[in-house]
Chain A
């Protein structure tokens, strides 16, 4: 989903950067507020940033398409630390990738942060919380959150790319074309990301339920008997 340096015309790149900036600023504020209550949150956010950084530049081969793509990781980070801090995590990961790995670019950092950070985090978080509210299990909610965070990110990338490059061409056919081009790779990869997210939530529930309780992912009533 990394839109490379120079792909978006300057006005679009500037617009997406301006739209992304308040989310990042609120993410910093939210992290400081949470860390004031509990300083142990900062190492967790640091580790989540390492996870998102690695996962979002890890090329996974998809045999059905013959291409490689990467998951996003913002589903699990949004579940654990909330969507606003997850936007900050994505922005930092994307900045390092743009600076040192030629993944994405500085001019397209706003668009990439919006798609992976804002859309991915909020879609994943809302799906998880919505499903938990209607009584779905942690595993099912985690799976759907990971899946939709991934697909949502790529849908947003398709939109930003289409808006930026279309010129005088109509938007909808180009958007559909980009989305369809992503599908053979991203449909299976989204499912893999869903399974990985569900696995991580399940593992934390078994090994560190206190962490899930602290981050308000589960309630005290849901603590396992051995905890």
Chain B
């Protein structure tokens, strides 16, 4: 009996989750905006209106988010490795 209940619960969960996810992705595709970051859409835009423009950074990574992607992948990999070996890192010798 509890097994049957669990099956119903899982079925119900899928019935709710799948349409929700489908709607969420559909909703994303409807957005008319450009998905630019608030740093550009708010901070830099309002600053520009008041005569202040952003300057090129000291180390210019060029256009695009390739460097950011590389950093995120390296950070995520490092985080997973650190988390996996967490006990060894914190073990008292």
Contacts and interface: CB of A to CB of B under 8 A. Distances in A.
Contact of A3 (B32, B43, B78): B43
Contacts of A50: 75, 78-79, 82
A202 interface: no
Interface string A164-193: 111101000010011001100110000000
B33 A98 contact: no
B67 to A, nearest CB: 6
A7 interface: yes
B8 interface: no
B54 A4 contact: yes
A186 B52 contact: no
Contacts, number: 139
A121 B83 CA distance: 23
Q: In the complex, which range does the number of interface residues on chain A fall in?
A: 35 or more
Contacts of A65: 33
B22 interface: no
Question: Could you say which interface size class chain B belongs to?
Answer: 35 or more
A224 interface: no
Contacts of B33: 65-67
A181 B36 contact: no
A67 B28 contact: no
A40 B90 contact: yes
B5 interface: no
A101 B50 contact: no
Contact of A54 (B41, B42, B47, B79): B79
Given A43-B82, A54-B79, A7 B57 contact: no
A53 B54 contact: no
A9 B47 CA distance: 11
Given A2-B39, A7-B54, A100-B61, A161 B46 contact: yes
B17 interface: no
Nearest to B88: A43
B37 A67 contact: yes
Interface in B19-69: 24, 27-28, 30-39, 41-44, 46-47, 50-61, 67-68
Given A43-B90, A54-B75, A105-B55, A63 B28 contact: yes
B46 A6 contact: no
A57 interface: yes
Closest 5 CB pairs of A and B: A66-B33, A6-B55, A4-B54, A165-B50, A40-B90
Interface of B: 24, 27-28, 30-39, 41-44, 46-47, 50-61, 67-68, 71-72, 75-76, 78-79, 82-83, 86, 89-90, 92
15 contacts: A3-B39, A4-B39, A7-B47, A44-B90, A47-B83, A50-B78, A51-B79, A53-B75, A61-B35, A67-B38, A68-B35, A68-B38, A101-B71, A165-B51, A181-B41
